[in-house]
Amino acid sequence: MTSQGCRTCRKRHQKCDERKPTCWNCRWRGIECGGYGIKLADFTVYSGRKGQMVSRMMRDESDGDQMHPGDVPADGDASSTPTDADRPPSESLLHIKTQDTTRFASESHSSGDDTNFAVSPGDAMVTEYAFGGDQASLDSQDDEQDSRRDMEDLCLRLYPIKTEQNPYRIIYGSLAAQSEPLRKAILFASALHRSKLGKLPTFAIKHYRTDMQESFRSALCEGGEPWNLAATALLSALFDIIGTGMNTWSSKLIGCRRLLQLASLSSEKVPKGFQCVVLQYNWAATMSQTLLKGVVPADTCEEIRCIDEVPMSQTGASLTMAEHQSHWWDNLPDYQMHLFLRQATEHSITIDRLRAAGDTEHLLQLMPRAAELVNMIQAWQPHTSTVPSEYLDSVLHFNEVWRLGMLCFVHSEVYGLGPRDRNIQRWVEASLEPIRKLSWLQACLFPLFMIALHAENERARQIIRFKLGEMHATLGFQGPLSVASVLVNIWMRSDGMGTGKVQWREAIREMGMELNILL
């Protein structure tokens, strides 16, 4: 027997039982086994003192891309070409136009490995393998159990407040039982997280990522349920913080919006959790307008817009979005803050347009409305959050970070003021103690970033860097370190600028990234 397994199992980074002529692992999965083809060629005679004849061992030609342990690059990539194992699905996966769906179908049928997982009931040997306790099957079951445990842990890392009614478990976890693409996305995120914790080699992620992409392509081609695919698209964008947090996610939000709209039109009864996902998308879409402006083409930003009118079930009482924010996300922050963020974002976009057009009259007319928004943010009284007692103090700090972050946001993005503005520095200084005492940063990264952009002194910057590093160490997510790295780059630029608005988008654009602080 070969110690490396059949060609198919080696390519997919799976355990192989090495049975001949074909392995049972491939038969159980319903795919073609690549076999163990080895041939001897190019005999070479060495005329040393003892003389010996050595042959060169060759695999069959179809295995030309086979890797060996010594060939793995230092960064852990399992491919001979530069491929980021942490990279989420391709942008094109979420583009749901007809021509793209056709292209996905042709790609999946020509990918080399047959992805048909159907098991024939008449195949007694396959049935015996699947249920007879074969070691490879048991190993696969152990992997699934490990992934379930990791996903349970991942839910609390994404949203630590709720243990019983955690929305990631209740909504996405339940939906994954019905949706293979969503299940594959969760398995990929779990594997990615395990790799960051050192529990899984980085090259092994490629298998999970490929499975996720193929499953999504297949579901698009076969006209899968839009609701399931929308949840998959949104969750895959949020999961990016587990990795670098610097990959392209705008296309996922575009795909999510289109799929959610299709789902709202194609279903008479709104599925459980639908409004929660819409609400979560609206938060991400609103923040993306600021994060992507000047970084991606304007038409991309236009595609990522909020979904305001969603048909509700005709039976039973309808909940408002504010009630959904309270029910699923414990008012952290409450829905009023979402409306503040949307209004501030709209003012920012309008002012940029008026400045570009030289329309000073309408620009001045907008200023009183911006001042009114500042007054409302300062007077904001957050709605009650029903959280366990150990989180009560952090709720106060959480809301204060949002308030101060939004004040920095409005004065920078709407009024065009820089970090040396007296009011902005006062708010930055006031935010340091809440930031230091806050026990979690999930759902708080956006206002933290807006505060951090205007941190002028080393003490403030150290507190922010330490908090992001603490988030990385506690959760095992790589994204917070990327945010800290981006901030250091921006601070170096702003220190040499003098007065004026922080040019943080230029730094992000030059880095060729889309900063992901959507969680």
Q: How far apart are CA 332 and CA 351, in angstroms?
A: 29
- Determine if the pTM surpasses 0.75: no
Q: How far apart are CA 365 and CA 370, in angstroms?
A: 10
Tokens (6 digits) for 427: 């708010």
Model pLDDT, residue 393: 86
Model pLDDT, residue 50: 43
Model pLDDT, residue 22: 77
Q: What is the DSSP letter of 312?
A: P
Token match 């505060």: residue? Answer: 451
Q: How far apart are CA 377 and CA 341, in angstroms?
A: 10
Tokens (6 digits) for 137: 């099957």
Alpha-helical runs (H) found in 159-204 = 167, 174-176, 180-196
φ/ψ of 442, rounded to 5, equals -60, 140
Tokens (6 digits) for 304: 């990522």
Q: How far apart are CA 111 and CA 105, in angstroms?
A: 10
CA distances from 293 to 288, 302, 308, 449 (A): 8, 10, 21, 16
- Under 8 Å CB-to-CB from 82, ≥6 apart: which residues? none
Model pLDDT, residue 51: 46
Side chain identity at 379, as an amino acid letter? A
DSSP reduced 3-state for 39: strand
Query: Could you list the mean pLDDT of each consecutive 10-residue stretch along the chain, which spans 519 residues?
Result: 70 74 66 66 45 46 38 35 39 40 34 31 28 39 59 83 83 86 90 88 89 89 87 92 85 93 78 88 95 89 81 46 89 93 94 89 92 96 86 91 97 91 95 94 94 94 96 92 94 78 87 89
Model pLDDT, residue 37: 66
- Under 8 Å CB-to-CB from 84, ≥6 apart: which residues? 77, 244, 247
Structural domains of the chain in order of their starting residue, each with its CATH number: 1-39 (4.10.240.10), 142-309+320-329 (no CATH), 363-518 (no CATH)
